[in-house]
Every structure is written in structure tokens, then in C-alpha cells.
Amino acid sequence: MNGQSDTHAVIHPLYAVPLLQSQFPDSERMNADLARLFLQWEAQGDIHRDSTLRDTQHGIFESDFYLHRRKETPVRMLFDFIHQTLLSFIQGINQYPPEQMSNLDFDMHSWFHVTRKGGFQCAHNHPNASWSAIYCVTPGEPVSPLGGSVRFHDPRTGSDMYRDPANDHMQIPYRLGSWQLNHKAGQLIGFPSYLLHEVLAYDGEQPRITVALNAWTRWKR
């Protein structure tokens, strides 16, 4: 058989986790305007801060959850891009025809983070939403390769309970274990809201600024 099997096998990517990655084109000016706005709002303290204290966070300024309702031009530019990108993603991954998309009501919570040196966020997910996303305004200047990285955790409980050469080097979409992502300015990452993720300790001197959101939908009729 020359080392090959006579049998025919089909491999299905069962339980694959979709992760969206998109880049805002020519985002430098918009990102600079957003950074100025967010740092101004951070300096104003509790006026723009979310009032809920979270024991999963340290060294992070978290705004209220209605950033997408702001009227400032750079904020509107960003959320026009996010809205179009997420709707296109939702349509594609669900294979909805245009008439179904026009019947879809889309809503979200959104906020910005300013993370200072030593800031981190423990592992968490986002209940009561279907999709979450993170947009990077500026990654700051991390010192170490993992400084400020986002770590996504494998949602398949027990999937790595036994590892040997037969499963230790499987490639996407079958890989095992956590996955780290280093933010880049202008990059949008979307992922299922159930997916546990954390932000590793940021070790740069310049602030790291991101925008995050949770989105959900319903049929209009």
C-alpha cells in the first residue's frame, strides 16, 4: 500500500472557533484623534468612567459602555467601520441572504480602555452577547513579546488532558491550548463572546489604548 490507506476518510472541522481579523485602512490620523480624545476623557476622571468596580482589572481606565453613541467624528468613523465589518462577518458565517440581513436588529455595548504600565485583566468572557471585538488604537510600546498581549483560552474543557506527538502539533483549526495575540494599531479582532480571554500585564511606558464591544442581534419581525 506504499504507506497509504485504502480507506477513504473525511475530516470535519467540528467545534472550530471563528476569530475575525480585519484592518482599518489608513487609520493613523483617526487613531491619533481617538487617542487624544480618550486621554482627555481619562483625565476628566469619573465623568466618563464606568462606575462598576471589577476585581478582574488592574491599572486600566474603563469608560462607560456607550462609546458607540458619541458624535465625535473619529468615533463615528471607527464605529462605521466596526458596524460594516461585523455585519459582513455575521452574514458570511451564518450564510444569511440580504433579505434576512435587512430584518436583523443589531445592538451593542462599547467602551475604551487606557492601560498603563503594570495593567492587566484576568481571564473572563462576556455573557449576554453573541460576538465581542477589540480594536487597537495604539498598542503602546511593550517591552517584552507578551507585554499587553491578549491570550485566548481553548474552550474545549479537557482537550489537553493528554498530549503526545500524535496530537501535540495539530494545526488550525484543530490546535490545542491557548493562543496569544499582539495588538497592532488599526486592527480589529472579533470572537465569540463565550471565549475566555485575558490581557497579560502591560510593561510599556506609553499608554496602550483599545476599544472593546459586545454585540447582540434579534429579528425585527
The angle subtended at Cα 128 by Cα 124 and Cα 133, nearest 5°, is 60
The beta-carbon contacts of 143-148 under 8 Å, at least 24 apart in sequence, are: 143/203, 143/204, 144/203, 145/182, 146/180, 146/182, 146/200, 147/200, 147/201, 147/202, 147/203, 147/204, 148/115, 148/182, 148/183, 148/199, 148/200, 148/201, 148/202, 148/203, 148/204, 148/208
Distance, CA of 80 to CA of 136 (rounded, Å): 15
pLDDT at 45: 87
Query: Confidence band (pLDDT; 50, 70, 90) for 4?
Result: low
173 close to 13: Cβ distance less than 8 angstroms: yes
pLDDT at 5: 54
- Model pTM score: 0.93
Could you please state the CATH topology (level 3) that the domain comprising 20-219 is classified under.
Answer: Jelly Rolls (2.60.120)
134 close to 210: Cβ distance less than 8 angstroms: yes
Mean pLDDT over residues 203-215, rounded?
A: 97
Residue 2: is its pLDDT beyond 70? no
pLDDT at 1: 43
pLDDT at 6: 59
115 close to 140: Cβ distance less than 8 angstroms: yes
The angle subtended at Cα 38 by Cα 32 and Cα 40, nearest 5°, is 105
Helix, strand, coil percentages in the chain from 3-state DSSP, rounded to 5: 20, 30, 45
Residues belonging to the chain: 221
The model's pLDDT over 177-207, given as tens digits with 9 standing for 90+, comes to 999 999 999 999 999 999 999 999 999 999 9
The angle subtended at Cα 179 by Cα 89 and Cα 185, nearest 5°, is 60
Query: For the chain, what is the total number of helices (H) and then of strands (E)?
Result: 3, 9
Mean pLDDT over residues 102-125, rounded?
A: 97
Count Cβ neighbours within 10 Å for each residue of 71-105 and write b for 16 or more, e otherwise: eeebbebbbebbeebbbebbeeeeeeeeeeeeeee
What is the average pLDDT value for the chain, to the nearest integer?
Answer: 94
Domain boundaries defined on the chain: 20-219
Percentage of the chain exceeding pLDDT 90: 90
The model's pLDDT over 64-103, given as tens digits with 9 standing for 90+, comes to 999 999 999 999 999 999 999 999 999 999 999 999 999 9
